[in-house]
Amino acid sequence: MSLRLIVRILFVCTIMVLMAEMMLAQSVRTSSAFKIGRLKYSGGGDWYNDQSAEVNLLKFARENTNLNVYPTYEFVDVNSEQLFTYPFVFLTGHGNITLSEQDVRRLRSYLENGGFLYVDDDYGLNTAFRREIKKVFPGQELVDLPFSHGIYHCQFDFSSGPPKTHEHDKKPPQGLGLFHNGRLVVYYTAESNPSDGWTDADVHNDPEQKRIEALKFGTNILVWALTN
């Protein structure tokens, strides 16, 4: 075998080893990257709507923070073992929600053990969500977060609280929360609907300024949930 052929073989082998190492490193980064779980629920509401929302929010967060994120859409059932692999789950929709006794136990366990739930009323969700979340934390009421709360300032400044992305009933936007042992475990936006602003531009035809505002606000929620 000629020296030239040996050198070529060694070169090819080296390239293959480097490519394998790069693929392994990428796989490790992807498997450890933060992903949002869209929470699937019963009751007839469209829990699955606007699936581009999480993808676009995670892309924006990747470009504007140091968070290691994987922009993808994934859903998770409250009774799935996979629930506890997501540090952050997102619930939205326009209609009814029903939580069984088992759902309630699972969701409470998830939240008490480090999980975070963000809920955005996409219009029509409010009554059902407020009713069902009382089952999860029966001794608590959703409370308005003061505009001084860190969720409004941790990455971008929202000194007036949640943005008004979409008009619902001509009421001011609200950001409410539930706490467990002093930690914010549920954050709920009503009359605000920032998640509509996360979707692809042609879905709701929102002005670009509104979309960027909503993406910045969503990034604040991610940063706060993952660092607190």
Query: 140 with 176, same domain?
Result: yes
CATH classification at residue 118: 3.40.50.12140
Query: 124 with 175, same domain?
Result: yes
Helices (H), 65-175: 101-112, 126-136
Query: 19 with 66, same domain?
Result: no
Residues 91-112: pLDDT tens digits? Answer: 999 999 999 999 999 999 999 9
Residues 27-37: pLDDT tens digits? Answer: 334 457 999 99
* Both structure tokens of 14: 């080296």
The one-letter amino acid code at 121 reads: D
Give the pTM.
Answer: 0.86
Task: Count structural domains, the chain.
Answer: 2
Confidence check: pLDDT of 23 > 50:
no
H or E element in which residue 11 lies = helix 3-32
Query: 185 with 167, same domain?
Result: yes
Query: 94 with 189, same domain?
Result: yes
* Both structure tokens of 66: 């140091």
Confidence check: pLDDT of 45 > 60:
yes
Domain span at 121? 35-227
Query: 109 with 185, same domain?
Result: yes
